[in-house]
Amino acid sequence: MRHGFPLSAQLASLALLTLALVGCDDDEASADPADAMRAMDMTPVAMDMTSDGDAARDMAPAGDAIPDAAPDMAPEVDYDIPPPPELPPPGACDDSQLPAVMAHGFLAAGDTWSAHVQRFAANGHCVDRYHAFDWNTLVMDPAPHVEALDAFIDAVRAQHGVEQVDLMGHSAGGRLGYAYLADPARAAKVRAYVHTASFPEEAPPTPEGAGTRTLNLWSDADFAVEGADIPGVENVTLEGVDHYAVATAAEAFSTVYGFLYGAPPATTDRAPAEIPVVEGRVLTLGENRIEVGAVVDVWPLDPATGQRAGPAPRARFVTDEAGRWGPFAAEREVPYELHVRPAGDGRPVRFYRPPFAGDDPLLYLRTLPGPGSTAGLILTQIDFGAEGTVMVVFSSTRAIEFGVDDLRVDGASVLTAALAPPEETLIALFVYDQGGDGMPGRTNPIFEQFPFLQMLDLPIGADPAASVEVRLGDQVVRMPRWPADPEGAIIAIFDPTEQR
């Protein structure tokens, strides 16, 4: 078991696992783990600027809503899709604050910061001031990421007409932040830096005299990265907050807000909306490669069954060159299926979650990479057969923990001390029939090599007319039991810290 195993050591272990599974000659076997990662052709994700939220809704939409599929992207059925629902008028917001750039951590993406961005909006800030930097954390060499982050920050500065930005980095994103700020010319572009649940350092990130204020925010309950105070910066320790929640929790937001803006926030809740507007990006799991030309169909569902409630999607979007889709005006009490079909040969993926309560400008949809990628290695262990359903339970704001959470599949409690101890920092649970034998209880050691991921051998028979019900606390998601072949995976998204 890897419980309590430091994240930095897990990364080296994962690199060696990559070599073992992909295959290499004797010379390659002795290579540095970072070289092993680069040998997998995991080049940095092409970066782009995004503009999210009310202040940006009078600009070009994130993805093109169209009545029919894009060329060479024929839908499964020729649906008669109506125009997407009308968006509400943008509300007034404060655009006087410096823009902020936010770098996520290992195996994560820009939606790490969604809860904080929603809270900034609840405090009256324009959400288009907050920019998520998506990068491939499986490429360990920091040089290409530093270069890409510098270009991204320059684009943000140009967009808003400012000389400086604020910078936040979570986990591996904090190590990237330190690498970026080590150069005085780059550090001069950053007014303030927030080092979130990241590796302890021996000194401030910027050279002496650079003037970048730094907050080191860490938790005494972080089992992924053992945090510590950093000399010469402002240090704040949270109590009882897991590694992921240091970037999402309300108490973390209050600390970050006060550090950046010199006063406590008016609220740490996320604002409800009569007409929630959601939008985001479509990227591959792990590598965060941009999915250009992916079709996103938005289906309203019957809340009692999770089955589709109409003959056609309520809206269809085709992702643009940045992988963006939306915006979509949702109904508050209606659950939706977000059906994603990549432009290439990738498997389709269906996302389900409880009804939207408020705007979400960073709703990311992940596709499943192929076996030629490191993240794809884990998917080769899963039987995508016609007889069973492959399901992923994803907690979007904090770890799922045995003894704290009650996770149930079709009424049966599935958490155990071995599956979800606090040391596991479990974010995504893959539920499928290991070995395809129809029997539960097997394990798969490859999951032990990946932080934040775990598997549960629980056969779910395929039957699209029937539903599987997943409960996490008081949140419930119901989904059709789609056959993994050819329908891909179903993803149940939960937000256990949501307050509206």
Question: So what CATH class is 277-494?
Answer: mainly beta
Burial 79-114 (b: 16+ CB within 10 A, else e): bebeebbebeeeeebeeebbbbbbbbbbbbbbbbbb
pLDDT of residue 70: 33
Alpha-carbon distance of 481 to 464, in angstroms, equals 5
pLDDT of residue 18: 47
Alpha-carbon distance of 468 to 151, in angstroms, equals 45
User: How many Cβ atoms from other residues are within 10 Å of residue 4's Cβ?
Assistant: 12
Interval 26-40: pLDDT, tens: 333 333 333 333 333
Q: Where are the beta strands (DSSP E) in 251-353?
A: 277-284, 295-300, 315-318, 324-329, 336-341, 349-352
Ranges of residues in the chain with a pLDDT under 50 are 1-5, 9, 12-13, 15-75, 499-500
Burial 197-229 (b: 16+ CB within 10 A, else e): bbbebeebbbeeebebbbbbbbbebbbbbebee
**Tell me, what DSSP letter sits at residue 448?**
G
Name the CATH architecture for the domain at 89-261: 3-Layer(aba) Sandwich (3.40)
Residues of the chain with CATH 2.60.40.2200: 277-494
pLDDT of residue 7: 56
Alpha-carbon distance of 335 to 263, in angstroms, equals 37
User: How many Cβ atoms from other residues are within 10 Å of residue 293's Cβ?
Assistant: 19
Residues of the chain with CATH 3.40.50.1820: 89-261
Interval 448-474: pLDDT, tens: 888 899 999 999 999 999 999 999 999
Q: How many angstroms from the chain centroid is the CA of residue 424?
A: 18
Using omega within 30 degrees of 0 as the cis cutoff, is the peptide bond preceding 327 cis? yes
Mean pLDDT of the chain, nearest integer: 86
CA-CA-CA-CA torsion sign (484, 64, 281, 152): positive
Q: Where are the beta strands (DSSP E) in 241-335?
A: 277-284, 295-300, 315-318, 324-329
pLDDT of residue 39: 32
pLDDT of residue 344: 83
Interval 287-338: pLDDT, tens: 999 999 999 999 999 999 999 999 999 999 999 999 999 999 999 999 999 9
pLDDT of residue 276: 97
* pTM exceeds cut of 0.75: yes
Q: Three-state DSSP class for 435?
A: helix
